[in-house]
Amino acid sequence: MKKPRIVVANWKMNLDVHQASLLTHKLADRIHVYRDVEVVLAPNYLCLQPLSMEIDRRKFRLAAQDGYFIDEGSYTGAVSFSQLRNLVHYAIVGHSERRRYFSESLEIVRDKVTAAVRNGIVPILCVGETREERNLKETRQVLHDQIVSALSDLTGEDVEQMVIAYEPVWAIGGHAPATPEDIEQAVNWLRYQVSELYGEKVENRLRVLYGGSDEPEFVSGIMGVEGVDGLLVGHASLNAEQFADIVEGVHIASLSED
Ligand code: 13P
């Protein structure tokens, strides 16, 4: 059976509870239920509880944008994966904005991936090189280090359920995604790392997404890349029309593979 495609809306630090609810209603009107595409909404923590009561579960699943790696205790301001466990299906972990603005090291990302899995939450692990690393031709080394360290506490059974998102930092927040050739090279390399560690069966089951300036016009090109199973969408996910078009584009690309 073909793996369902996934489209994740990473709303980042945008929208209050009321705005998130309005956008979810607009999306629910525009997005059809496609059996081959899973649509995942990743709002801020505050919106998770109210949205969990509002969403049509045939249409949407929820993801947290982060989580803390210790389950409970005196960690003021933190929200743990154990507190999120009955609320979300997925959690984004190791987003480049967290690595950059919140100084998340390889070890912290590893501990968060492990904590998500321990609490029954599927991690969407983000990996990707900065522009400087790309210019220095360090992309492969960076992806290798990010993947090997993040997965180091997991079994093959854990990893085959996971999602890894290739998000080149230099392509985030603009209107020009990486080219299909760049994406193909990175995704092949990333999949190769997983198959070296856990074997081909795990690598085949794992879902790999692309994120970075995903907009409707680029969907067919990106989804045409072998090994890409979906998209992690930032700014375009805040616009109901654009996001619905992206979901539809992923569905069309999936149909054309049959
Ligand atoms: P943009 O789609 O705004 O480039 O953001 C991508 C991203 O960071 C998703 O996690």
Identify the pLDDT of residue 257.
80
Round to whole Å and give the CA distance between 55 and 33. Answer: 13
Measure the CA–CA gap between 170 and 133, rounded to whole angstroms. 10
Residue 1 has a pLDDT of 59
Q: Which residues contact 165 (CB under 8 A, 6 or more apart)?
A: 8, 92, 124, 125, 126, 127, 208, 209, 210, 211, 232
Whole-number CA gyration radius for the chain: 17
- pLDDT for 256 equals 86
Domain boundaries, the chain: 5-257
CA of 42 to the centre of ligand 1 (A): 12
Nearest-CA residue for atom 1 of ligand 1: 234
Q: Is 129 a catalytic residue?
A: no
Do 223 and 249 touch, CB atoms closer than 8 A? yes
Assign domain 5-257 to its CATH architecture: Alpha-Beta Barrel (3.20)
Set 38, 129, 160, 167: catalytic member: 167
Question: Does residue 172 have its Cβ closer than 6 Å to ligand 1?
Answer: yes
Alpha carbon of 73 to ligand 1 centroid (Å) = 32
Whether residue 139 contacts residue 178, with contact meaning beta carbons closer than 8 Å, is answered with: no
pTM for the full model? Answer: 0.97
Q: How far is the CA of 237 from the centre of ligand 1 (A)?
A: 9
Q: Compute mean pLDDT per 10 residues along the chain, 258 residues long, and list them.
A: 90 98 98 95 98 95 98 98 97 98 98 98 98 98 98 98 98 96 98 98 98 98 98 98 98 88
